Structure 1
Amino acid sequence: MQFDWSAIWDAIPILLEGAKLTLWISVVGLLGGLVIGLVAGFARAYGGWLSNHIALVFIELIRGTPIVVQVMFIYFALPMMLQAFMPVRIDPLTAAVVTIMINSGAYIAEITRGAVLSIHNGFREAGLALGLSKRDTLRYVIMPLALRRMLPPLGNQWIVSIKDTSLFIVIGVAELTRQGQEIIAGNFRAMEIWSAVAVIYLIITLALSYVLRRLERRLKII
């Protein structure tokens, strides 16, 4: 079978639209996941018995189930469960974003917990000695240091989330993989289109990795 480059050139505009949606889902989902992860991570690190165990159950539940099962549950099962109380319909894009938020939030929670607990206790004692409250010590002393240590794993989580969006093909989200599948259904050039899809994913992840490495060096990650 001869490789047809023209099939790729014709498909590039549509694939780039899918890539834009892939990035949008990953960015919005990761921002939401960061909020969830910070809350759950601090609950694990500094919360009481109840908040600690609630966060632990959430983290283990999400990390212990595949993301494709999670998105299917949110898209198909959750509206059926809520139907008894109120009619709810979740569109595919919303289900995809919420899934990335929840999934990345569980992993970011453990990243947060590990980062804040890795800061030497002397920094906390120094903040308290300067007259800062426990909350201000956490906010102005511990968190800036912890965020530097969180940056590499957060960047890795972003890359993972970008690739995870390909699984949302199961609910019809028009991200990069879905666009590639629809193009193939029309021109039957699977080798060319899947090669182009793979290269676009590779370009995105390599560019993101480069930017993150530069940012890490500038912040002098310790």
Structure 2
Amino acid sequence: MALSKPSSDSDFPYWLVAATAIAVFIAIVIATNDLYTQVLVIVSKGVWITIFVTLVGFSLASALGLIIAVMGLSRSLVMRQVARFYVEIIRGVPILVLLFYIAFVGAPGFVVAWNYLSTPLQEAGLIDELKVRDISLMWRAIISLTIGYSAFISEVFRAGILAVDEGQIEAAQALGLTRWQRFRLIIMPQALRTILPPLGNDFVAMVKDSSLVSVLGVADLTQMGKVYASGSFRFFETYSIVAYIYLLLTVGLSLALRALERRLRQAGNIDETG
């Protein structure tokens, strides 16, 4: 069956109209029902933790992923192999398993190593002995998400950098630009247009995967819903509200990212025609 180009009528976001109508209907139900309103007030206390974990975790994962990507494109064989080893191993471990490992193996191991290396400073009274409980569960969760997502994000950055025309890099080199100047002025601005869609997908995915931090007792959106439902036995109402809030976050982010992609695409077309 031959595929045809969609007409302009099919581009109208009917799905968004339907989703908006459902969202408005649910909002009216919540506003007019005391039980749903109570659930929303309690559960929404974890929204800020969810947002904080996502923003910090994604920012750190992007920075680490960029470093791994640059290492993977290095001229050094050792750095390339280290980067490939990191990516393949981390991508092969489920996020939930990584979360447990960092929280209950990595953190205690770090404390033991830190106390061993800082023994002279402790004996001199400059610092106190570090305890495992001093590392909060929230930061263990953030570190886990950072490590887990950095492997995927590094591949996004690597693909975007490789998509840049080699001729432009050679031209910049001929003009005398340093490696850092070529990367900052030539490579990354062009690679950004390529990596933005998959990077945005990873960001939305992290919003959803941030719910995994609830297994550590971090008071995020999912954990607040779990605590309320287990105490009130209002599972349907509670998890309906939790799902509703997650959908508002993820769909809203997806729409914002699509708008940003269109603006960058239009800016790129203007630059090319100008």
TM range (shorter): over 0.9
What is the alpha-carbon root mean square deviation over aligned residues? 1.8
- Aligned partners of 1:188 and 1:18: how far apart in 2? 19
Distance 1:11 1:117, change over 3 A: same
Between stretches 10-19 and 205-214, larger displacement belongs to: 10-19
- Whether 2:69 is the aligned partner of 1:24: answer no
SS at structure 2 position matched to 1:99: helix
Q: C-alpha displacement at 1:128, in angstroms?
A: 1.6
Which amino acid in structure 1 is aligned with residue 105 of structure 2? A
Match of residue 45, structure 1, among 73, 80, 84: 73
SS at structure 1 position matched to 2:219: coil
TM-score, normalisation: structure 1: 0.93
- Whether 2:103 is the aligned partner of 1:75: answer yes
- Aligned partners of 1:88 and 1:36: how far apart in 2? 26
Distance 1:91 1:43, change over 3 A: same
Gaps of 5+ in 1: none
Deviations 1:13-33 (A, max 9, x none): 222221221111000001101
Which amino acid in structure 1 is aligned with residue 227 of structure 2? E
Which amino acid in structure 2 is aligned with residue 64 of structure 1? G
Which amino acid in structure 1 is aligned with residue 225 of structure 2? G
Which residue of structure 2 lines up, in the alignment, with residue 170 of structure 1?
215
Which amino acid in structure 2 is aligned with residue 54 of structure 1? V
Bigger relative contact order (CA 8 A; separation at least 6): 1
Match of residue 191, structure 2, among 146, 151, 165: 146
Which residue of structure 1 lines up, in the alignment, with residue 162 of structure 2?
117
Match of residue 88, structure 2, among 60, 64, 67: 60
Q: C-alpha displacement at 1:84, in angstroms?
A: 4.2
Between stretches 71-80 and 151-160, larger displacement belongs to: 71-80
Q: C-alpha displacement at 1:80, in angstroms?
A: 3.5
Match of residue 129, structure 1, among 132, 156, 174: 174
Contact 1:75 1:91 in 2 (8 A): no
- Whether 2:224 is the aligned partner of 1:179: answer yes
Q: C-alpha displacement at 1:130, in angstroms?
A: 2.2
Q: Which runs of 4+ in 1 moved over 6 A?
A: none
Which residue of structure 2 lines up, in the alignment, with residue 201 of structure 1?
246
Which amino acid in structure 2 is aligned with residue 187 of structure 1? S
Contact 2:107 2:140 in 1 (8 A): no
- Aligned partners of 1:47 and 1:16: how far apart in 2? 49
Contact 1:7 1:193 in 2 (8 A): no
Which residue of structure 1 lines up, in the alignment, with residue 265 of structure 2?
220
Which one has the largest radius of gyration?
A: 2
Contact 1:79 1:88 in 2 (8 A): no
Gaps of 5+ in 2: 1-28, 116-129, 269-274
Which residue of structure 1 lines up, in the alignment, with residue 127 of structure 2?
none
Kindly, what percent of the aligned residue pairs are identical?
Answer: 35
Q: C-alpha displacement at 1:88, in angstroms?
A: 4.0
Deviations 1:141-162 (A, max 9, x none): 0111012211111111111111
Q: C-alpha displacement at 1:192, in angstroms?
A: 0.8
TM-score, normalisation: structure 2: 0.76
Match of residue 235, structure 2, among 183, 190, 209: 190
